[in-house]
Structure 1
């Protein structure tokens, strides 16, 4: 009888839940949503997902190749003095996803729709965080640590549970090829010339 398998732990290095090592990662903005703490502090939390389609890129051997499919969460807290988000910080993210200059955004929902599903390059820092006398390692991402992706041809394969709600990139305006029928609830206009009958 043939063996069922042979143990091989060489690929286990990136599967821990420890914070990612400091470095620049090619990521997808997997999701963004508003949250609040029990004390009422409000945040826009951005879920960044390390792309899994760049394992063979030599310059990403120590980042994406080792840590693909890992999530990093970035909180953007409302300022206590104004009860508003730091909109200047959001500009860096919008620029990284290539939203055209002068694009009006009427709400935080507009911002979320424009960034969700977009590929970006992100500098992630691993640092100490002390809370109630206990120091742990955490990942930090600042808005100015976002830049345009160096790899715009996204071939990332999503796990079913982590697929972004919106799959539209601001730069192309086209739906992701993985789901050509997704329209995010918008109406679809089809002319008679487009119909085969």
Structure 2
């Protein structure tokens, strides 16, 4: 008699819902930051925020981190058409929340991305209606001024994919390699200039 290939066991299955997070304040990790561009040449610095999974037992986070850990929220920071520059004032809020010391020189956008990647932050995430090409849907929005310093500086988050490149060395569970949401696929974002918020 042959051995069974497997037995069904659904206890470890998790929801793969991609609905936007409910409006609220979440303890997150800046999982990754990367520059990207639309086919029309509009440039953005995208920040991938990841809801921490090491705070599930914190009573005050039961309805945020406890329910939505490991979920991603993506934040775009578009270069302004008039100046072809990012809103550096907005970046100050993110740097402060990430714990970068006052008067730290940040010579390049790459240095900015390295300085914030892997850091814990507290973020207010808003769920709001967005209409694109006649279709209205619910999306998450995060403004730079909605970043604050994390109340939980010791990070014990267990990554499902790979640890962010350039992330600070902290006690972590073993990682497995993965492509992650910003894998370089060679694809560009398809957004017309009329759809940009500036």
Give the TM-score normalised by structure 2: 0.79
Q: Which residue of 2 aligns with 1:164?
A: 164
Rg larger in structure: 1
Question: 2:92 aligns to what?
Answer: 91
Structure-to-structure mapping, 1:48-87, within 5 angstroms = 48-87=49-88
- Whole-Å Cα distance in 1 between the matches of residues 10 and 112 of structure 2? 46
Please report how far the alpha carbon of residue 18 of structure 1 lies from its aligned counterpart in structure 2 after TM superposition.
0.2
Question: Helix, strand or coil for the counterpart of 1:113?
Answer: helix
Deviation at 1:178, TM superposition (A): 3.5
How far does residue 177 in structure 1 lie from its aligned partner after superposition? 3.2
Aligned counterparts, 1:141-156, within 5 A: 141-156=142-157
CA 1:8–1:84: 2 relative to 1, 3 Å: same
Paired residues of 2:96 and 2:148 also in contact (CA < 8 A): yes
Provide TM-score, normalisation by structure 1. Answer: 0.80
Give the distance between the partners of 2:137 and 2:163, measured in 1 at CA: 29
After TM superposition, where is structure 1 displaced by more than 3 Å over at least 4 residues in a row?
Answer: 4-9
For residues 55 and 153 of structure 1, the distance between their equivalents in structure 2, rounded to whole angstroms, comes to 14
Q: Which residue of 2 aligns with 1:182?
A: none
For the structure 1 residues 7 and 118, does the alpha-carbon distance in structure 2 shift closer, same or farther, using more than 3 Å as the test?
closer
Residues 178 and 58 from structure 1, CA distance in 2 versus in 1: closer, same or farther, beyond 3 angstroms? closer
Q: What residue is the counterpart of 1:41 in the other structure? A: 42
User: How many aligned positions are there?
Assistant: 167
Cα RMSD for the two superposed structures:
1.9
Q: Where does structure 1 lack aligned partners over 5 or more consecutive residues?
A: 169-174, 180-197
In structure 2, list runs of 5 or more residues that go unmatched.
1-6, 174-198
Q: In the TM superposition, what whole-angstrom CA distance separates every residue of 1:77-132 from its partner, at most 9, and x where no partner exists?
A: 00000000000000000000111111111100110010000000000000000111
Partner secondary structure for residue 62 of structure 1: coil
Contact between 1:30 and 1:162, CA under 8 Å: does it hold in 2?
no
Q: Does residue 113 in structure 1 map to residue 114 in structure 2?
A: yes
